[in-house]
């Protein structure tokens, strides 16, 4: 089970459970941070005295609202949407919007909480926030998606702004949705404020390499972790869960570095392709046709579609969970270890359960936590904001170079911080402590806010 908390932190955690009942993912995300920051409080008792932890755990503002919309047959539907503006010590709230039927306040709070530390790790001036809705985009027409996005923005517009809160995409929210959301914002406000939302189309204010950034960034982070062990991606066998934006561009970058991807998945099953996944087919199915991954085998007769399989049972050198939270548990972790896996790097947010992380770390599998490993997406969003503010558009190459530098920097700081706090090689501690310190110092400088 989970590690014991520092004696100063246990009552804080108990109070948090009491104040936020039923929000298990939020509890999990907070607990992981509290388990690792005990040593910081020994060095900096002032943070405990000034209740920085209790303040960080309480969102600055939480907005919950109704989103009514009509489907193509005229029937009315009512969804619930959220925007949790968690922490603005380092900059305007920044984080994506998630559209998925599983969304409720607990999911948005876990994502928003993680975002605070992730954004701090990038070193860029962005605070933490997250939003979303329990709307299910699956099977909806373009017009239904548009009407939903317009209805959502009709409320959200009053809460966001270039200097206030800057949404972007997440699961279920990509370029199409960002377009509808921005269009409605512009229409209501009568202002072309490019920097109010990121992940825009590249011909109307978006940044080149933003689409690729989360996946590419996770692979840059993986390469840095391997370098520490005098190893590289070349010739490695990878499995990547998911087949959305993060998974696709993680596969693309990993392949370009000589890795072979043997499996990917979606919520309906797993594709196993021993000869190596053909990314053009995955992109066509997922980005153009918005179809199911099972269609892959129509183009690749040697590949297998495994409907009820668990992707983590497939032998690999490196696993990249890029689908969703808690998709890799202790049993899966044990299987990966048994099969000789040397590294697990999180492209999705919090895809490994606490018990799964424990198994991996105890077995000396290099583990890259999402806060650090998938920060490339939001970092490039901040680069998009920079371009918007200066009315510039950078080249793909320049933007990707900035992204690579940022990921190398995040890796170095996480590694060094872990070392400084006596936890060499523990990137979970490194990321949590480094992220916490940055936010705590800024909050402390600003007084009791
Ligand atoms: N949803 C992404 C994340 O989890 C990106 C957020 C953004 O670009 O603001 O970090």
* Percent of the chain clearing pLDDT 90 (strictly above): 98
- Per residue in 193-230, pLDDT (tens digit) is 999 999 999 999 999 999 999 999 999 999 999 999 99
Ligand 1 midpoint to CA 302 (Å): 36
Closest CA to 201 of 163, 169, 155, 156: 169
> Where do the CATH 3.40.50.720 domains begin and end in the chain?
211-373
- What is the spatial distance between Cα 227 and Cα 234, in angstroms, rounded to a whole number? 12
Q: What is the pLDDT of residues 267-295, one digit of tens each?
A: 999 999 999 999 999 999 999 999 999 99
115 CA distance to ligand 1 middle (Å): 8
Pairing between strand 128-133 and 76-87? antiparallel
The first and second tokens of residue 443, run together, are: 């909050």
* Whether the predicted pLDDT of 139 surpasses 70: yes
Compute the average pLDDT of residues 316-322: 98
User: Does residue 369 have a pLDDT over 90?
Assistant: yes
Q: Which atom of ligand 1 is nearest to the CA of 349?
A: 4
Q: Which CATH fold topology does 59-193 show?
A: Rossmann fold (3.40.50)
CA distance 417 to 425: 10
Mean pLDDT of 381-409: 98
Contact 413, 121 (CB under 8 A): yes
Choose one of 130, 214, 218, 435 to mutate for the ligand 1 pocket test, by most ligand atoms within 8 angstroms of C-beta: 214
The pLDDT of residue 281 is 98
Residue 313 near residue 335 (C-beta atoms within 8 A): yes
Q: What's the mean pLDDT in 411-429?
A: 98
Closest residue CA from atom 9 of ligand 1: 95
Q: How far apart are alpha carbons 17 and 147 in whole angstroms?
A: 37
pLDDT tens profile 101-118? 999 999 999 999 999 999
CA of 207 to the centre of ligand 1 (A): 14
Tokens representing 240 are: 């990547």
CA 270 to centroid of ligand 1, rounded, Å: 25
Pocket probe mutation, ligand 1, options 170, 209, 218, 431, max atoms within 8 Å of Cβ? 170
CB 55 within 8 A of CB 141: no
Closest atom of ligand 1 to 167 CA is: 9
CA 297 to ligand 1 centroid distance, Å:
31
**pLDDT of the residue at 1:** 45
Q: Is the pLDDT of residue 3 over 90?
A: no
Which whole number is the average pLDDT over 357-376?
Answer: 98
Question: Which of the listed residues 114, 199, 214, 377 should we mutate to test ligand 1's pocket, taking the one with most ligand atoms within 8 A of CB?
Answer: 377
The pocket around ligand 1, CB under 6 angstroms, is made up of 94-96, 168, 170, 198, 349, 377-378, 381
In this prediction, residue 324 carries a pLDDT of 98
Examine the residue annotation and report whether 130 is marked as an active-site residue of this protein: yes
Mean pLDDT computed over 39-61: 97
In angstroms, what is the span from residue 364 Cα to ligand 1's centroid? 29
Atom of ligand 1 nearest to the CA of 119: 10
Best of 29, 87, 115 to mutate for ligand 1, by most ligand atoms within 8 A of CB?
A: 115
- 433 forms beta bridges with none
Q: Cα(404)–Cα(402) distance, rounded to whole angstroms?
A: 5
d(CA 414, CA 425): 9
Report whether 129 contacts 93 (CB < 8 A): yes
pLDDT for res 4: 85
pLDDT averaged over the chain? 97
Contact, 220 vs 403, CB < 8 A? yes
Q: Which fold has domain 211-373?
A: Rossmann fold (3.40.50)
Nearest atom in ligand 1 to the alpha carbon of residue 199 is 8
Catalytic option among 94, 118, 130, 236: 130
> What ligand 1 atom has the least distance to the C-alpha of 210?
8
Which residue's alpha carbon is nearest to atom 8 within ligand 1?
378
pLDDT at 2 over 90: no
SS3 string of the chain? CCCCCCCCCHHHHHHHHHHCCCCHHHHHHHHHHHHHCHHHHHHCHHHHHCCHHHHHHCCCEEEEEEEEEECCCCCEEEEEEEEEEEECCCCCEEEEEEECCCCCHHHHHHHHHHHHHHHHHHCCCCCEEEEEECCCCCCCCHHHHHHHHHHHHHHHCCCCECCCEEEECECCECHHHHHHHHHHHHHHHCCCCHHHCCCCCCCCCCCCCHHHHHHHHHHHHHHHHHHHCCCCCCCCEEEEECCCHHHHHHHHHHHHCCCEEEEEEECCEEEECCCCCCHHHHHHHHHHCCCCHHHHHHHCCCCEEECCCCHHHCCCCEEEECCCCCCECHHHHHHHHHCCCCEEECCCCCCECHHHHHHHHHCCCEEECHHHHCHHHHHHHHHHHHHHHCCCCCCHHHHHHHHHHHHHHHHHHHHHHHHHCCCCCCHHHHHHHHHHHHHHHHHHHCCCC
Tracing tokens 């992707």 back to the chain, one arrives at: 311
pLDDT at residue 86 tops 60: yes
Q: What is the pLDDT of residues 299-308, one digit of tens each?
A: 999 999 999 9
Of all protein residues, whose CA lies closest to atom 5 belonging to ligand 1? 378
What spacing in Å lies between the alpha carbon of 374 and ligand 1's midpoint?
9
The answer, yes or no, to whether residue 313 has pLDDT greater than 50, is yes
Query: What is the location of CATH 3.40.50.10860 in the chain?
Result: 59-193
The span from the CA of 390 to the CA of 9, in Å, is 43
Ligand 1: atom nearest CA of 374 is: 10
């Amino acid at each position: 089970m989970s590690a014991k908390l520092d004696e100063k932190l246990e009552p804080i955690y108990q109070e948090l459970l009491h104040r936020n009942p039923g929000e298990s993912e939020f509890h999990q995300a907070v607990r992981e941070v509290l388990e690792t920051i005990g040593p910081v409080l020994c060095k900096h008792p002032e943070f405990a005295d000034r209740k920085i932890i209790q303040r960080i755990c309480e969102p600055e503002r939480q907005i919950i609202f109704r989103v009514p919309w009509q489907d193509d047959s005229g029937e009315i539907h009512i969804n619930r949407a959220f925007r949790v503006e968690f922490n603005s010590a380092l900059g305007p709230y920044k984080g994506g919007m998630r559209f998925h039927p599983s969304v409720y306040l607990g999911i948005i709070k876990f994502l928003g909480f993680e975002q605070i530390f992730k954004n701090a790790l990038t070193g860029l001036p962005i605070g933490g926030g997250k939003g979303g809705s329990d709307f299910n985009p699956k099977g909806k027409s373009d017009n239904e998606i548009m009407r939903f996005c317009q209805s959502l923005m009709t409320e959200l517009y009053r809460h966001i702004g270039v200097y206030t809160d800057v949404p972007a995409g997440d699961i279920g929210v990509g370029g199409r949705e960002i377009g509808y959301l921005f269009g409605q914002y512009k229409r209501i406000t009568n202002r072309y404020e490019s920097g109010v939302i990121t992940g825009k189309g590249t011909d109307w204010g978006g940044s080149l390499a933003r689409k690729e950034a989360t996946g590419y960034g996770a692979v840059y982070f993986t390469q840095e972790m391997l370098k520490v062990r005098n190893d590289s991606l070349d010739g490695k066998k990878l499995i990547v869960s998911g087949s959305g934006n993060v998974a696709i561009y993680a596969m693309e970058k990993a392949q370009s570095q000589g890795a072979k991807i043997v499996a990917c998945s979606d919520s309906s099953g797993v594709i196993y392709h021993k000869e190596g996944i053909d990314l053009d087919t995955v992109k066509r199915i997922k980005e153009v046709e918005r179809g199911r991954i099972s269609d892959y085998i129509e183009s690749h007769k040697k590949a297998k579609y495994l409907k009820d399989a668990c992707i983590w049972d497939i032998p690999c050198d490196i696993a990249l969970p890029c689908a969703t939270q808690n998709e890799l548990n202790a049993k899966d972790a044990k299987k990966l270890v048994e099969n000789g896996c040397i590294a697990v790097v999180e492209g999705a947010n919090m895809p490994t359960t606490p018990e799964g992380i424990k198994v991996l770390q105890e077995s000396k599998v290099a583990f890259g936590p999402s806060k650090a490993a998938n920060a490339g997406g939001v970092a490039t969003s901040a680069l998009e904001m920079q371009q918007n503010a200066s009315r510039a558009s950078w080249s793909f190459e320049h933007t990707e170079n900035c992204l690579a530098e940022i990921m190398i920097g995040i890796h170095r700081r996480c590694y060094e911080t872990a070392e400084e706090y006596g936890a060499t090689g523990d990137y979970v501690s490194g990321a949590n402590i480094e992220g916490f310190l940055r936010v705590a110092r800024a909050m402390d400088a600003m007084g009791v806010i």
